[in-house]
Amino acid sequence: MATDLSTLLALLAVIVYAWIAVSDIRRREIPNALVLAVLALGLVRLVALRTPTEILFSLAAALLVFAAVVPLFVGGLIGGGDAKLIPVSVLLVGYDEVLGFLVCMSLIGGVLSLIIIGHRLARRHAVAAGSARVAPTQKETVPYGVAIAGAAITALIQLPQG
């Protein structure tokens, strides 16, 4: 029974995270409804599949991560959706996967940043060479929801079922 529930929750989370990634790529926005969906899945997973001690550790880990991302949001380094989604994702993956989740998220985010930089440089080169028109200036941001989603999905796939 627990394995079936764990698998169902992971499958639902993959769907929600895919939706988050697409939304962040298209609009650079993570809808609150999707953050709440991850929160709901995380709370169900905690209550149904974790011991009281594991629940407390997971809540503490999420609070610590939240405290770490708030200054990044205030400083303009990450968006509000990212700042909400990261600690909520910690609740879903659990305290025991938080380090792997954060490392994986950072690695995926780094690759995304390199892709954005490469795209920006290629566009500048094309404009300088005269093969492209100058596009309206728009701040080019990293859709970090993709990194968060990828890391959470990776953590969920690696979790023991049950």
Q: Which residues, given as ranges, of the chain have pLDDT below 70?
A: 1-2, 132-139, 159-162
* pLDDT tens profile 79-120: 999 999 999 999 999 999 999 999 999 999 999 999 999 988
Helices (H), 50-97: 52-74, 80-93
Q: What is the pLDDT of residue 120?
A: 85
Is the CB of residue 11 less than 8 Å from the CB of residue 63? no
Q: What is the pLDDT of residue 134?
A: 61
For residue 85, the one-letter residue type is L
Q: What is the pLDDT of residue 125?
A: 81
Q: Where are the beta strands (DSSP E) in the chain?
A: none
Residue 85 tokens, joined: 């989604």
For residue 85, CA distances in Å to 17, 76, 119 come to: 10, 16, 26
Domain ranges for the chain, please list them.
2-158
